[in-house]
Chains A and B, each alone.
Chain A
Amino acid sequence: MVFGAAVPSGANPSENAFHGLRVEPARTIPPETLADAQGKAAEFPLKTDKWQLVVFGYTHCADVCPMTLHRTALLLKQLGDDGARLQPVFISIDGDRDTPETVRDFTRKFDARIVGLTGKPETLQAVANEFNVVVRRFRGQSSLAYKLEHSSFMYLLDPQGRVRLLYPASSDLAGIAQDLRMLWRSP
Chain B
Amino acid sequence: MLGVQTAVGVMARRGFVVLALTATGAWADTVPEKPSDPFDYSYCGGKPVYPVIGYNFATVCGPRNQIAVGRRGQLMWLFPSADGRTMLHHGMRKLSADELNRISLLAEVTQLAASTDGAAGHVMYDLGINFSGRPNKREHAAFTADYTPANELFRTLLKLVPDAPPLPDCAEAATDFDPTLMPAQRHLDPQPMTDRHASIRR
Contact = CB atoms under 8 A, between A and B. Distances in A.
B164 A132 contact: no
Interface string B142-172: 0111111101100100100000111111000
From B2, B149, B151, name the one whose CB has the most chain A CB atoms within 10 angstroms: B149
A153 interface: yes
A137 B133 CA distance: 12
A125 to B, nearest CB: 5
A16 B106 CA distance: 13
A5 B169 contact: yes
B26 A134 contact: yes
Contact of A23 (B28, B33, B82, B109): B109
Contact of A151 (B41, B109, B155, B164): B41
A135 B39 contact: no
B114 A25 contact: yes
A155 B27 CA distance: 19
A139 B34 CA distance: 8
Interface string A1-44: 11111111110101100000111111110000000000000000
Given A24-B148, A135-B28, A151-B41, A3 B167 contact: yes
Size class of the contact patch on chain B: 35 or more
Interface of B is mostly: loop
A129 B131 CA distance: 13
B105 interface: yes
A8 B135 CA distance: 30
Given A5-B167, A10-B145, A169 B35 contact: no
A82 interface: no
B66 interface: no
A169 B40 CA distance: 11
Contacts of B167: 2-7
Nearest to B2: A136
A82 B31 CA distance: 43
A28 B33 CA distance: 35
B190 interface: no
15 contacts: A2-B167, A5-B168, A6-B169, A7-B158, A7-B167, A8-B123, A12-B147, A12-B155, A24-B113, A27-B114, A134-B26, A138-B34, A139-B31, A146-B30, A147-B34
Given A8-B123, A134-B132, A148-B28, 4 more contacts: A4-B167, A24-B149, A27-B114, A138-B31
Interface of B: 2, 26-36, 38-39, 41, 43, 59, 82, 105-106, 108-109, 111-116, 122-123, 131-135, 143-149, 151-152, 155, 158, 164-169
